[in-house]
A and B are shown apart, each in its own frame.
Chain A
Amino acid sequence: MLPPDPGGHPPAPGPHLGEDELALLALGEDVEGAPEHLTACAACRAEVASLREVTAAVRSAPTPPAVPVPAGVWEAVARETGVRAVPGGGAGQAPAGPGDAEGAAVAPGAEPVATVLPAAPPRGRSRRSWLALAAAFLVGTAAGVGASRLAERDAPVPAAQRVLASTELAPLGAGAAAGTATVASVDGHRHLGVDVRGVDAPGEAVLEVWLLDPAGGGLLSLGTLTGERLDVVLPDVVDLTRFAVVDVSREPLDGDPGHSSDSVLRGELTPRA
């Protein structure tokens, strides 16, 4: 379809060019009679020019202009994502050590461990310890103690405390920080329990727990950790399919109630069947 010819101009000689002809012109072919028409017809000229942008871009130099990026930019990306690999390859590549498979590729579509429900027998070390932690939370014992598959299977789950969702919290930067978040239904209320360990002493700051809505950008503060733990009851209106990400941030005591952007741990809640 052609845009309407702007008013006020004398009519172009002959009928407008057909869409096939316009495309051929944009691809660089000669079309009989076209030059005369284009000289007089702004609408057809604009259409060819618009299609020619496609041709020009596709046929442009395959080597894009590159403005070198200061090293600090990648370091900031690495810090925010926790990625340890190094651009450009070579000796700095992140090692994928045994039992630490963060560098390993998995088949597309395969569920990452943190979002796999523990219905099948655990396969990896990280899932086992995560399960042990979840079980430990349920029976109210110290986290991380007695992490064995036997203990997990035998952990009694009181009927009144049903785990609705959980996740392992992973560090956003370097370091040994870790944690778990578990949502359990207790007497009809949803309790969120967050446990952290190995977080660097925050100094003049507190650790605050948030729920994030990754799609819509929403942010909900749930309170600050005392020691290495926070237990809160979630308001009924909070939809965990929307606010699915648990975030722990370091918050300076500066009077700003907003998120400091200094996240230390994060994990996405996975509902349990």
Chain B
Amino acid sequence: MGCVSTPDAVALGGAAPVRPAPAAQDGAAGPAPSAAGEVGDAELALALAAGDERALAEAFHRFAPLVHALALRRLPEADAQDVVQAVFVAAWRSRGTYDPARSAVGAWLVGIARHRIADCLRARHRDAEVSTGSVELVAGPHQQVAADPAELAADRIVLLDELEHLGEPQRTLLRMAFFEELTHTEIAQRTDLPVGTVKSHLRRSLRRLRTRLEGDRAAT
């Protein structure tokens, strides 16, 4: 392991790999994802939070390639692979504090990934200072990488999660603007809301999404 293999990485491992009681006996089973079938995002989130091993494997299947792409933007291959590993180990160990109601699995993993990438960059930075006295990062400030497809995709996952957490009617209004590309006057007509109300909802919601994006990017 490279830059993420620190004693901290060990100590950060929180919850023990516990054995949930047999659900059938308890009568307290949540929605159990089918082993091979397509599992919805919500089901995946609940299963992961509940400690279902298959949920971790499924999350890896869905998101590891994106996490890998994100890490490769800023790190060499070996470190990028370490980051992917560290992200999913951390996800498993902190599943006890993961709240599916607060964020979707993808957005949660992107958040962890961005922190891990930042940790790795800092470690490399320290090593570089110690060995050569110079500071050399693989990539520059985030403005330069923001247009990268992997960064864009990560941003999209985070923003759609934030969009889902907007109240109504804000969520519907912003969806109409984003995906149906309706103007605010068209949205007002469709929804029977005053034009001024639609405008202020769109403005506030868009700014809220930007705040979330900035917070998420701030990690790296």
Mark A residues whose CB is within 8 Å of B.
19-20, 22-24, 26-29, 50-51, 53-62, 64-70, 72-74, 76-77, 80-90, 93-94, 99-108, 110, 112-115, 123-124, 126-127, 167-172, 212-215, 217-219, 245, 247, 249, 258-259, 261, 263, 266-268
B7 vs chain A, min Cβ distance (A): 5
Select from chain B the residue with minimum beta-carbon distance to A211. B11
Q: A23-B203, A57-B213, A106-B28 are in contact. Are A89 and B5 (CB under 8 A)?
A: no
Q: Report whether A245 and B16 are in contact in the complex, using a CB–CB cutoff of 8 Å.
A: yes
B156 vs chain A, min Cβ distance (A): 5
Select from chain A the residue with minimum beta-carbon distance to B39. A89
- Report if B29 contacts A (CB, 8 A): yes
Query: Nearest 5 A-B pairs (CB), nearest first?
Result: A214-B14, A66-B65, A64-B153, A57-B155, A87-B61
Q: Report whether A29 and B14 are in contact in the complex, using a CB–CB cutoff of 8 Å.
A: no
- Total of A-B residue pairs, C-beta within 8 Å: 287
Mark B residues whose CB is within 8 Å of A.
1, 5, 7-26, 28-33, 35-37, 46-47, 49-58, 60-61, 64-66, 68-69, 72, 81, 84-85, 88-89, 92-94, 100, 146, 149-150, 152-157, 159-160, 163, 177-179, 181, 183-184, 199-200, 202-203, 206-207, 209-210, 213
In-complex Cβ contact of A73 among B19, B22, B84 (8 A) = B84
Q: Report whether A104 and B46 are in contact in the complex, using a CB–CB cutoff of 8 Å.
A: no
Q: Report whether B53 and A107 are in contact in the complex, using a CB–CB cutoff of 8 Å.
A: no
In-complex Cβ contact of B29 among A51, A82, A105, A219 (8 A) = A105
Q: A51-B210, A81-B17 are in contact. Are A64 and B69 (CB under 8 A)?
A: yes
> What are 10 A-B residue pairs whose CB atoms fall within 8 Å in the complex?
A51-B207, A62-B156, A93-B36, A94-B54, A105-B32, A110-B20, A112-B20, A170-B18, A214-B11, A219-B11
Select from chain B the residue with minimum beta-carbon distance to A72. B81
In-complex Cβ contact of B152 among A22, A57, A172, A219 (8 A) = A57
Q: In the complex, what distance in Å separates the CA atom of A127 from the CA atom of B21?
A: 9
Q: Report whether B210 and A218 are in contact in the complex, using a CB–CB cutoff of 8 Å.
A: no
Q: Report whether B16 and A106 are in contact in the complex, using a CB–CB cutoff of 8 Å.
A: no
Q: Report whether A108 and B50 are in contact in the complex, using a CB–CB cutoff of 8 Å.
A: yes
Q: In the complex, what distance in Å separates the CA atom of A22 from the CA atom of B93?
A: 43
Q: Report whether A261 and B9 are in contact in the complex, using a CB–CB cutoff of 8 Å.
A: yes
Q: In the complex, what distance in Å separates the CA atom of A197 from the CA atom of B29?
A: 31
Q: Report whether A106 and B206 are in contact in the complex, using a CB–CB cutoff of 8 Å.
A: no
Most buried by B among A54, A101, A103, A261: A54
Q: Report whether A214 and B50 are in contact in the complex, using a CB–CB cutoff of 8 Å.
A: no
In the assembled complex, which residues on chain A have CB atoms less than 8 Å from the CB atom of B21? 101, 106, 110, 112-113, 123-124, 127
Q: Report whether A213 and B47 are in contact in the complex, using a CB–CB cutoff of 8 Å.
A: no
Q: Report whether B12 and A106 are in contact in the complex, using a CB–CB cutoff of 8 Å.
A: no
A153 vs chain B, min Cβ distance (A): 20
Q: In the complex, what distance in Å separates the CA atom of A66 from the CA atom of B184?
A: 35
In the assembled complex, which residues on chain A have CB atoms less than 8 Å from the CB atom of B154? 64
Q: In the complex, what distance in Å separates the CA atom of A85 from the CA atom of B65?
A: 18
Most buried by A among B20, B152, B179: B20
Select from chain B the residue with minimum beta-carbon distance to A64. B153
Q: Report whether A245 and B89 are in contact in the complex, using a CB–CB cutoff of 8 Å.
A: no
In the assembled complex, which residues on chain A have CB atoms less than 8 Å from the CB atom of B22? 99, 101, 104, 124
In the assembled complex, which residues on chain B have CB atoms less than 8 Å from the CB atom of A101? 19-23
Q: In the complex, what distance in Å separates the CA atom of A53 from the CA atom of B213?
A: 9
In the assembled complex, which residues on chain A have CB atoms less than 8 Å from the CB atom of B18? 112-115, 168, 170, 267-268
Q: Report whether A23 and B159 are in contact in the complex, using a CB–CB cutoff of 8 Å.
A: no
Q: Report whether A105 and B23 are in contact in the complex, using a CB–CB cutoff of 8 Å.
A: yes
Q: Report whether A261 and B7 are in contact in the complex, using a CB–CB cutoff of 8 Å.
A: yes
In-complex Cβ contact of A89 among B30, B56, B58, B184 (8 A) = B58
In the assembled complex, which residues on chain A have CB atoms less than 8 Å from the CB atom of B52? 103-105
In-complex Cβ contact of B5 among A90, A100, A123, A261 (8 A) = A261
In-complex Cβ contact of B69 among A66, A77, A80 (8 A) = A66
In the assembled complex, which residues on chain B have CB atoms less than 8 Å from the CB atom of A212? 10-11, 13
Q: Report whether A85 and B54 are in contact in the complex, using a CB–CB cutoff of 8 Å.
A: yes
Q: Report whether B16 and A57 are in contact in the complex, using a CB–CB cutoff of 8 Å.
A: no
Q: In the complex, what distance in Å separates the CA atom of A271 from the CA atom of B64?
A: 36
Q: A67-B72, A214-B11, A214-B15 are in contact. Are A27 and B85 (CB under 8 A)?
A: no
In the assembled complex, which residues on chain B have CB atoms less than 8 Å from the CB atom of A94? 53-54
